[in-house]
């Protein structure tokens, strides 16, 4: 595992964007696995900036997002499709049809998840998977205790995740209680993984995930077993690691 310690959020974001852009430059038709949440926003802004300067093109890139709230329309402002459009896709030259986010309104979550697994396989797998980490160690919406062998599935969000995500909604009651999420198996099959962490509130869980035992109770700990993981974090988030 490689670890990059960044001075602050801005340089963490720049380093993460560097790794993503190197992937796209060396393989223009890369399949990128993308994440939402607060942490990757700065990296997306940096990628947009480099695209606008003419240094980067996403014309042949394909993307698959990790997860989506179940029950939210793609047009809902808190949906992850909306997040991806407004933070990245609307500002770069990626083709809409090459971007894939789970459908939060799918009638059958089982069918939607099976089709998503097939889509990832048909695309040839994920070249680089970007991840954030929840305060309870979740990656995507794989919550503590979830089976490491799962592929894309319907998840019941934990109280801790609902609590952490209520900041994006008008009230806690508005936070959906379920989500569709890639499973640990999909994530572990990505050829490369880039995980970004920021802020003192993540320091304990980052330490547990990378220095503690591999356990379902800390889903991100499974990344210790992946052959190509890059962790990029700011000083606060990595304070207990280095
Ligand atoms: C988002 C996702 C989540 C977040 C995690 C951290 O697509 O899969 O696992 O990465 O909740 O979120 P932030 O970055 O807001 O702390």
Mean pLDDT value across residues 173-178: 94
CB of 233 sitting under 6 A from ligand 1: no
Ligand 1 centroid to Cα of residue 90, in Å, is 21
In-domain check, residue 193: no
In-domain check, residue 72: yes
Q: State how far the alpha carbon of 9 is from the alpha carbons of 35, 49, 135, 192, 226, in Å.
A: 17, 16, 17, 22, 25
Confidence of residue 223 (pLDDT cuts 50, 70, 90): very high
Say what the alpha-carbon torsion angle 195, 197, 202, 204 is, to the nearest 10 degrees: 50
Select from 35, 126, 223 the residue to mutate for testing ligand 1; criterion: most ligand atoms less than 8 Å from CB: 35
Q: What is the CATH number of the domain that holds 154?
A: 3.40.50.1360
In-domain check, residue 73: yes
| Domain encompassing residue 153 | 2-187+212-234
What is d(CA 190, CA 26) in angstroms, rounded to the nearest whole number?
Answer: 17
In-domain check, residue 224: yes
Confidence of residue 58 (pLDDT cuts 50, 70, 90): very high
Q: 226-241: string of b/e by CB count within 10 Å (b at 16+)? A: beebbbbbbbbbbbbb
pLDDT tens track for 93-126:
999 999 999 999 999 999 999 999 999 999 999 9
Q: What pLDDT is stored for residue 32 in this prediction?
A: 99
* Beta-strand pair 2-6/178-181: unpaired
ipTM summary value: 0.99
pLDDT tens track for 150-171:
999 999 998 988 998 898 899 9
CB of 81 sitting under 6 A from ligand 1: no
Q: What pLDDT is stored for residue 155 in this prediction?
A: 94
Q: What pLDDT is stored for residue 164 in this prediction?
A: 87
- Whether pTM exceeds 0.80: yes
In-domain check, residue 38: yes
Structural domains in the chain (count): 1
In-domain check, residue 195: no
pLDDT tens track for 25-53:
999 999 999 999 999 999 999 999 999 99
In-domain check, residue 198: no
């Amino acid at each position: 595992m490689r670890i990059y310690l960044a001075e602050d959020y801005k340089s963490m974001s720049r380093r993460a964007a560097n790794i993503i852009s190197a992937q796209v430059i060396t393989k223009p038709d890369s399949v990128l696995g993308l994440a939402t949440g607060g942490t990757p926003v700065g990296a997306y802004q940096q990628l947009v900036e480099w695209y606008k300067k003419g240094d980067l093109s996403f014309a042949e890139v394909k993307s698959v997002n990790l997860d989506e709230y179940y029950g939210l329309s793609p047009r809902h402002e808190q949906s992850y499709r909306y997040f991806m459009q407004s933070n990245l896709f609307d500002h770069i030259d990626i083709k809409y049809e090459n971007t894939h986010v789970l459908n939060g309104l799918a009638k059958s979550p089982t069918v939607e998840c099976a089709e998503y697994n097939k889509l990832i396989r048909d695309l040839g797998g994920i070249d680089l998977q970007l991840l954030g980490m929840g305060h309870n160690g979740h990656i995507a919406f794989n919550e503590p205790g979830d089976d490491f062998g799962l592929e894309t599935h319907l998840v019941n969000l934990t109280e801790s995740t609902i609590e952490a995500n209520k900041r994006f909604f008008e009230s806690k009651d508005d936070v959906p209680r379920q989500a569709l999420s890639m499973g640990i198996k999909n994530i572990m099959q990505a050829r490369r993984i880039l995980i970004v962490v920021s802020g003192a509130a993540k320091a304990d869980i980052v330490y547990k995930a990378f220095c503690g035992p591999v356990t379902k109770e800390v889903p991100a700990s499974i990344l210790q077993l992946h052959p190509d993981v890059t962790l990029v974090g700011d000083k606060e988030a990595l304070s207990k690691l280095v």
